[in-house]
Amino acid sequence: MKTLIIHPSDTSTAFLKPIYEGIENKTVITHGKKRSEIIELIESHDRVMMMGHGSPSGLFGIGFERIFVIDNGLVEYLNQKENNVFIWCNADRFVERNKLKGFYSGMFISEVGEAYYCGLPKTPQSVVDESNNEFARMLGECFTDKKQLNESYDIIKNSYGELAKNNIVAKYNYERLYIA
């Protein structure tokens, strides 16, 4: 399986790299691609994994030519794939509105400021870091093992769910993981 990774270069989302580091036969883009190049890459890969900061309108294009590297203009191409991965804040609203398929997140706390914004004031950085690092490690293990997407979803819900019992940020994020 050929996997396209779209992960805009941003130090605040570098913790996501373990999700795809062990994947074989991958293309990773972090910046600088034009819209036409991104379309060609999506079409030539079996799976597209998109991660970083975003909104209900799409994945922010830090380092790309547009505000959003993934937005409504790419839905027709993403709709041709059934095992995509969408990990950014409020990706659920983008995925569900556009009837896309794959593993996706809702609002996802990855920074202390987001924890405060989401009603978890005084959350220490160590709690956010533990949630971030364990989520990425666990999901990365699923993709390294070449599991089917629904199987990866079940595993991450179980394993990350264990962390959620003792980590308030993981609990918040855990409740906002989906598959379609």
Task: List, for residues 156-175, the tens digit of each pLDDT value.
Answer: 999 999 999 999 999 999 99
pLDDT above 80: residue 114: yes
Instruction: Give a three-class secondary structure readout of the chain.
Output: CCEEEECCCCHHHHHHHHHCCCCCCEEEECCCCCHHHHHHHHHCCCEEEEECCEECCEEECCCCCCCEEECHHHHHHHCCCCCEEEECCCHHHHHHHCCCCEEEECCCCCCHHHHHHCCCCCCCHHHHHHHHHHHHHHHHHHHHCCCCHHHHHHHHHHHHHHHHCCCHHHHHHHCCEEEC
pLDDT above 90: residue 100: yes
User: What's the average model confidence in pLDDT over 37-58?
Assistant: 97
User: What's the average model confidence in pLDDT over 82-88?
Assistant: 95
pLDDT above 90: residue 37: yes
User: What's the average model confidence in pLDDT over 45-60?
Assistant: 97
pLDDT above 90: residue 139: yes
Q: What pLDDT, on a 0 to 100 scale, did the predictor assign at position 145?
A: 64
pLDDT above 90: residue 148: no
User: What's the average model confidence in pLDDT over 42-63?
Assistant: 97
Please give the share of the chain, as a percent, with pLDDT higher than 70: 99
With cut-offs at 50, 70 and 90, classify the pLDDT of residue 137. Answer: very high
Whether the model clears a pTM of 0.85, i.e. scores above it, the answer is: yes
